[in-house]
Amino acid sequence: MARKKSPILTEAELRLMHIVWEKGSATVKDVVDALPKEFDLAYTTVLTTMQNLEKKGVIRHEEQGRAYLYYPILKQREARRSAVQYVVKKFFDNSLELLVLNILENEDLEPEELQKLKKLLDESE
């Protein structure tokens, strides 16, 4: 049985997507070259992951000579939104309030971060 597609990007996919988002478009070689040295992934591993991202509808490619140039379809903001929605649904009973309370209770937020949150709350009322 085929593996069910994840509603959010895996860590490996996200690592490659950050490069494609940053560059705007990239070949597999561009992505391999831009990866931090600690990941030292083989060209074929990056290629397979890029092909999987294309199957998921996250990126698309155009031929550029002998190489494929990959472009993002999924915007970074949309990926973040999907990831948050997934976390809220799976871990917080579909409650944004529980997520925010958990962050406020369990994270050491800087005063500037708290001020930004207060401002956003005031603006949303």
Domain ranges of the chain: 11-72, 95-125
Residue that the structure tokens 């930004």 belong to: 116
- pLDDT score recorded for residue 40: 87
Contact indicator for 92, 106 with CB cutoff of 8 Å: no
Q: What are φ and ψ of residue 61, in 5° steps?
A: -130, 160
- pLDDT score recorded for residue 6: 59
**CATH 3.20.20.30 corresponds to the domain 11-72:** no
Residue that the structure tokens 């649904």 belong to: 89
Instruction: Provide, rounded to the nearest whole percent, the portion of the chain with pLDDT above 90.
Output: 76
Contact indicator for 72, 22 with CB cutoff of 8 Å: no
SS3 8: coil
Which pTM does this prediction carry? 0.79
